[in-house]
Amino acid sequence: MKMTQVAVIGAGPAGLAAAIEVARAGGLVTVIDENARPGGQLFKQIHKFFGSREHRAGVRGFHIGEQLLAETERLGVEVLLDSPVYALFPDRTVGYVHGGREIFLKAEKIVIAAGAAENPLAFPGSTLPGVMGAGAAQTMINVHRVLPGKKVLMIGSGNVGLIVAYQLMQAGADVAALIEAATQIGGYGVHAAKIRRAGVPIHLSHTVKRALGKDHVESVEIVALDSHWQPVAGSEKILGVDTVCVAVGLTPLTELAWLMGCEFAFVPGLGGHVPKHDLNMETTVPGVFIAGDISGVEEASTAMEEGRLAGTACAEALGLLDGQKALELKTVIRERMNALRTGPFGEGRRRAKECLIGLSLEGQA
């Protein structure tokens, strides 16, 4: 059996950041990811990030990914790719598959940074080719350089919907409209303003009624919603589009944390059921940490900070960092993280996070 000090599951921003902190402290760390490339969703983020200089604001997401990879390489972090983790065992053994074989890795600490999956939307025609997650469309245009379609309807006005709509236009597609069931735009106004300037209408209080087409989406029917979220009869409109992108939120991928027996809390503001964790990102199962979207869906910048926190806490728990030094590092990370969770957009998440951590600490007392 393979051995390591820290096993990190997921080579996205959170996982890589965690691994870097462990390696920096001199720990032996192994990152395992099911994809062929490390970086998680960072390599499809071609837009410039927000935040401040410490958060690498103004730098495009994929450049941040490149920097993280260079750092992992420089520190000699082992990154195992094409290796889906299919099981975790109570003695902190990780079961994964690589090259058609099952391999077990025994670790002293585990960081689960498995990310999140796009929420689906079911409507008549939602299984027609041409209906896809916005994240999938983003991967197509920015990683694989293929246009999913010529004319797109975007569903959902969170930052994902707004950003992907913009990037689809940059890639050469036409975005017919963006619809949102809620009564206001969910994401940043500056992102919305970009697509408005490009002439894309945003219809609030609207939903999709059905997608039509024989073997592929040929058009889509949208309908207005009243204040009780009920369709307004007679308000239906048909849009001629060949692609429908769904950006209605993400759900944390928590299977592995359930398997480990972590306690969960239900926090709608974070995407549903999330593992309870303390200020060090440690779950209710000693030695098992989480970081990134699995602990509540947020931005890549916050995911990286959570990863750094979990990595630092692992290093401390392994005796690689003394308490004083670890506290200093963690304080700086927490301050940066809180800066990202201020303002009308971050406030809700900060409160949801505090509630989650509060619940977790209560359980321990």
Partner 1 sequence: MAENRETIYICRCEEVTREEIEQAIRDGATTIAGVKKRTHAGMGLCQGRTCRKLIANMLACSRDPANILPSTFRPPVRTVRIDEIAQGDEE
Partner 2 sequence: MKSGIKYTGIPSEEELRASPGAPSRERLEQGPVAFIECVQDIPCNPCEEACPFGAITVGEPITNLPELHGDKCTGCGVCIAQCPGLAIFKVHLHYTETTSLVEFPYEYYPLPRKGDRVPCGDRQGKYVADGRVVSVKNAKAHDGTAVVGVEVPKACYLEVRTICRKEWSRHG
Name the residues that contact partner 1, by CB under 8 A.
1-2, 34, 84-87, 95, 97, 100-104, 117, 119-120, 122-127, 210, 212, 251, 253-256, 258-259, 264, 266, 268, 272-273
Q: Left, alpha or beta for 53 (phi > 0: left; psi -120 to 50: alpha)? A: alpha
Q: Which of 98, 188, 219, 259 binds partner 2 (CB under 8 A)?
A: 188
User: Distance (Å, rounded) from C-alpha 84 to C-alpha 35?
Assistant: 8
The reply to whether 193 sits near partner 2 by the rule CB under 8 A is yes
Residue 331, judged by CB atoms within 10 A of its CB (0-12, 13-18, 19+), counts as: exposed
Q: What are the structure tokens assigned to 138, written together?
A: 């983003």
Task: Considering the complex, state which of residue 1 and residue 233 has its C-beta at the smaller distance from partner 1.
Answer: 1
Q: Which stretch binds partner 2 (CB under 8 A): 186-194, 232-240, 261-269, 356-364?
A: 186-194
Q: Which stretch binds partner 2 (CB under 8 A): 11-19, 122-130, 179-187, 280-288?
A: 179-187
User: Distance (Å, rounded) from C-alpha 255 to C-alpha 106?
Assistant: 19
Residues in binding contact with partner 2, number by CB under 8 A? 41
* 118: nearest Cα among 79, 151, 152, 164: 164
Q: Which of 106, 151, 196, 237 binds partner 2 (CB under 8 A)?
A: 196
User: Distance (Å, rounded) from C-alpha 133 to C-alpha 174?
Assistant: 17
Q: Which stretch binds partner 2 (CB under 8 A): 15-23, 188-196, 283-291, 314-322?
A: 188-196
Residues paired with residue 288 on neighbouring β-strands, in sequence order? 110
Q: Which of 43, 49, 96, 289 binds partner 2 (CB under 8 A)?
A: 49
Query: Helices in 82-188 by DSSP H: which ranges?
Result: 134-142, 159-170
Q: Which stretch binds partner 2 (CB under 8 A): 12-20, 88-96, 192-200, 235-243?
A: 192-200
The reply to whether 170 sits near partner 2 by the rule CB under 8 A is yes
Instruction: Give me the residue label for tokens 């410039």.
Output: 48
Give the three-state DSSP class for 30.
strand
Name the site residues for partner 2 (rule: CB under 8 A).
47-53, 57-60, 63, 169-170, 174, 183-185, 188-200, 202, 204, 339-346
